[in-house]
Amino acid sequence: MMSGLRVFALSALLAASPVLPSLSEAPRPVAAADDTLEALFAQALARPTARGAAAAGSLDAAQLQSLFGDAAALTFTDGGYDSASGAHRLRGVTLTLPGGQPETLLTADEARIWNLDTAALAARMRGERLSETLRIFDRIELKGVNLDLSDYTDTVTDAVNAALDTPSTRTTESSTMQVGTLALGGFTLHPWTHEAVAGEEEGVAAMRVLSAFARSFSLDTMLFLDAVNEQTIGDAELTGTVVARYPRQLVYGYDRGKLGGAVQTDVTFDGSFDGTVSQTGEYIPEGFSLSGRSALGSWTGADFSRLLEWGEKGETPPVTERDLWNLGSYILEDTAIALSGAPVLEIGKLEFTATKFSWFLPEEVQVKHENVMMDLGRFLDVAASLDPEAAETAEGPSLREISEMLGKVGLSRFSGDSVLSFRWNPETGVTVLENAGTTNGLFSGVTRVEATLPAYAELIPVFGLDGQTFDEAALDALMEERMTVQQVSTRLTDMGGLNKFAALTIEIAKAGAFDDPMIANFATATPETVRMFASGLVMLGSTSMTKELPQATLWASMLSQFLTGGGTFEVSATPKPELFEQTGLASGGMSELTSADLVELLGVIVKHTPAPSGARSR
């Protein structure tokens, strides 16, 4: 009986829960207000010191062009050494795929190259000097770049569809990018360690090659300025165009699977779509748009280097690989999304941190958001305009009527802050999960779970040293022995939500959308009387439970007082250690305990704290 519960508990607490790292120890992502942000972009823009043509080395144009072999053709109109910048400059650059109809992959008005070692690169591409560390170039800077990304997006689509049970039929018809400046700084090749294996399964072989490639180079900086990406998508049901603009994008400090960081500022996107009714009858709205903006996105300190080592081997990392990876820290600032011109979501700040793992099991993660707003009313209005027929329902209120009701009672827009955090101590198994948040004008609350799960060392036999021989029976036994819950608590404080939901009940009754006499009676009520009615129902329901559960009347009274007067309602449970033994849950059964005995073992406490004077009704 408990095996499924314990498997679920372990997976939920160790895999799904966002987790709180010790923030003082975690890499902090670069924020918009940081001086570091501008310093990073300034560093990426800086050119190497001019050293003269002889010191910089002569660029062999023929050798450069031969690097691509038969795979592509590199051409340029003219080139030579530029003494002012210390770079070799090429103009009118074009990279083309050969064939009956040559396909242009890239054009650039100008390319400047600092200290490119074409001989070293050519040797590596011929399969030579594989064990050496080679500095390939100090900087390559392209101006006026045009890229055709259609082949790349098609490859990604094919790869995703191959992994899905029900592949999407939607395709990307074209994808292009224009970039004002594309600069690559400090490119180094490290020893190539991949070895082919005869008869290897195709997917494993591809993973091994990609992992080896990711481990084979370092790149100090990759900078995009004034980039515009345009995609057109289409199939039998939907067509559209999406244009995304990236004024500044920077990736820095990449080293064989470790990422120093990535940051982008002032991103915007606009998409317009047209559709028809599909062959299955599913409605695809005609003429809708999606747009958005983000002032800053910043990702810092991710590390996949150890994971890539195992990827190159084509093996699942053994459970003994504790420091296998981390996802780093991410921050998103001043972000908004609009549907058909109507703002439906705004995010002041979103932060995510997940830097500590034992194997694939997270130790600490945190998800935090500030000043997030969702406009449900606008979303419903747009949905109604996209499909007017579906918006008018035969039973119940229409989408527009629901939107109007929400607007009248102040429930159209939701805004607030929250922090969701998780900690699991791999040495002791002590675990804390907490979610705290405030929805402005409605409620604030905290839910907290304190438990003990198996320690890391105890989980090793369950997953097997190879990380693949999972033993479910062993996990069941381990969870029965080690999993305990010290406390579960939840607290809810009314900040006006009770009155607003009572007012919504009244609006629903006024609309007459439901053929229910009880609801109709609320049409002339006030929020206070609706809350009193709900309170009465709670008390009435508790009377039938009092015989088996004497505490029911007291608990119902607490909830009743909260419904009528607001304040704070709290429920907590502090289970006694003998809970599992006395209930029979440890052996997969259920003993004949009374409800009162069970409540005693759970240590349930219900509490109501009245609202401060003058704040009882909002």
The three-class DSSP label of residue 116 is coil
State the Cα–Cα distance between residues 542 and 462, nearest whole angstrom: 45
**Tokens 């607290």, residue located:** 491
- pLDDT attached to residue 20: 32
Reading the block at residue 81, the tokens are: 């050494």
Alpha-carbon span 34 to 263, nearest angstrom: 12
Which pLDDT score, from 0 to 100, does residue 162 have? 58
Closest CA to 191 of 250, 117, 132: 132
Tens digit of each residue's pLDDT (9 = 90 or more) over 577-612 = 777 665 544 444 445 667 777 888 888 999 999 988
Regarding beta strands 430-439 and 413-424, do their DSSP bridges make them parallel or antiparallel, or are they unpaired? antiparallel
Residues in the chain with pLDDT values less than 50: 1-26, 584-590, 617-618
8 Å CB contact between 387 and 381: no
Taking the C-alpha atoms of residue 74 and residue 184, their distance in angstroms, rounded to an integer, is 18
204 CB-near residues (< 8 Å, 6+ apart): 314
**How far is Cα 267 from Cα 332, in angstroms, rounded to an integer?**
11
User: For 170, how many CA atoms within 13 A lie in the half-sphere containing its CB?
Assistant: 10
Written in H, E and C, the secondary structure of 243-271 is: EEEEEEEEEEEEECCEEEEEEEEEEEEEE
Contact indicator for 76, 94 with CB cutoff of 8 Å? yes
Predicted TM-score (pTM) above 0.85: no
What phi and psi values does residue 462 have, to the nearest 5 degrees?
Answer: -65, -45
Largest separation between any pair of C-alpha atoms in the chain: 98
State the pLDDT at residue 50. Answer: 65
Q: CA dihedral in degrees (74, 80, 82, 86; nearest 10)? A: 70
β-strands 238-255, 73-75: how paired?
A: unpaired
Bridge-partner residues for 434, per DSSP?
421, 448
Handedness of CA 544, 546, 551, 555 (dihedral sign): positive
- Domain ranges for the chain: 483-609
pLDDT tens across 264-292, in order?
999 999 998 876 555 555 555 567 788 99
Which pLDDT value is given to residue 558? 95
